Amino acid sequence: MTVIAAVQPMQIALAGEITDIDLTALQGTWSVAQYLAMTAQTNRLIEYTDGVIEVLPMPTDKHQAISLFLLLSFLAFVRPCGGVTFYAPLRLEIRPGKFREPDLMLLLRGDDPRRQNDYWRGADLVAEIVSPDNPARDLDEKPRDYAEAGIPEYWIVNPLDETITVLTLAGDAYTVYGVFRRGDEARSKLLDGFAVRVDEVFDAR
């Protein structure tokens, strides 16, 4: 279940008059079409669950440095084999009526039919960089979401304690494949032979 933080009022201007509209009253009523139209007009990360939208915080410089390092690492590994890796903002459908925007998404085959232009219908691996505003989102809620979507592997990259937790899907829930710390190499079960040094991830600039 997604926990919705307080939604800030949105201002719109009509004929020179500024009106505050509180989006809280609209929570639970947004349609998928409205969500898709809204996210097509902004680079802000916005997620959607059964009529409820959640605007995620703007990434920091450190967040983006880690994201870029991982993107280039995953890309260098999967691209020669025909795979693709992309970064947020890019929508991922968990199920009809639920969308997430992972920090990183990977498909082993670039021609995978789940790769669609408007949003991906699935992924083989996703990674999230834990945000300090609400760590439970990435640590507790997202594992349930990505397991629901049937995604085989989920990386939780946590700058708060400098760990990388790799989860692999077993049935309808994740199990811990490894928790990697400074001095370790974080390894993938899905991508045979792929590893990154934890120190280099968290020291990325």
Q: What one-character DSSP code corresponds to residue 190?
A: S
CB 95 within 8 A of CB 182: no
The pLDDT score that the predictor gives to residue 16 is 65
User: Which domains occur in the chain, in start order?
Assistant: 10-55 (no CATH), 61-202 (3.90.1570.10)
CA dist 49 and 73 (Å) reads 31
- Choose among 101, 141, 139, 138: nearest CA to 123: 101
CB 157 within 8 A of CB 66: yes
The parts of the chain modelled with pLDDT lower than 50 are 1-9, 11-12
pLDDT tens digits, residue range 20-71? 666 677 888 889 999 999 888 888 888 999 888 988 888 899 999 999 999 9
